[in-house]
């Protein structure tokens, strides 16, 4: 199976392309936006608060510790790339599938 266009393998784990939507009513994965995973966060984009919230949402969904998730590109824009250490593409896709397919929280 071919992985979605928003995820790629790295030597240490995976890189996920994210379209950020800060200032949302609640923090969640809201499906996809073009070739990126759309993540809405309640935090505003002030002093890195939204970036930290996006990393926390990904860490929780992927069941990794928050320190394993870092913004590697796009820290000051809506289009970002986040690295997740210690996870392979198949595992990441499996853990994200309920959120991507349903656009939000799993049933």
**pLDDT, tens digit (0-9, with 9 covering 90-100), for 56-78:** 999 999 999 999 999 999 888 88
Portion of the chain with pLDDT greater than 90, in percent: 53
Closest CA to 7 of 64, 66, 91, 102: 91
pLDDT score, position 46: 85
pTM of the model: 0.85
Write out the residue range of the structural domain in which residue 47 sits.
Answer: 7-101
Neighbour-count burial of 9, counting CB atoms closer than 10 A to its CB (0-12 exposed, 13-18 middle, 19+ buried):
middle
pLDDT score, position 19: 93
CATH number, domain with residue 25: 3.30.1200.10
Number of domains in the chain: 1
CA 40 to chain centre: 10
Examine the pLDDT at 51 and tell me if it is beyond 80.
yes
Report the alpha-carbon distance of residue 17 to residue 38 in Å, rounded. 9
In 3-state terms, what secondary structure has residue 28?
strand
- Residue in this structure with the two tokens 């929280």, named with its chain if needed: 105
Residue 2 lies in a domain: no
pLDDT score, position 31: 86
Residue 106 lies in a domain: no
């Amino acid at each position: 199976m071919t992985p979605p266009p928003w995820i790629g393998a790295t030597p240490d784990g995976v890189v996920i392309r994210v379209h950020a939507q800060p200032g949302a009513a609640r923090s969640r994965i809201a499906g996809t936006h073009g070739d990126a995973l759309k993540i809405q966060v309640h935090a505003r984009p002030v002093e890195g608060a939204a970036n930290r919230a996006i990393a926390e949402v990904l860490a929780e969904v992927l069941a990794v510790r928050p320190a394993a998730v870092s913004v590697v590109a796009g820290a000051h824009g809506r289009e970002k790339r986040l690295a997740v250490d210690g996870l392979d593409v198949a595992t990441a896709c499996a853990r994200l599938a309920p959120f991507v397919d349903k656009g939000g929280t799993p049933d």
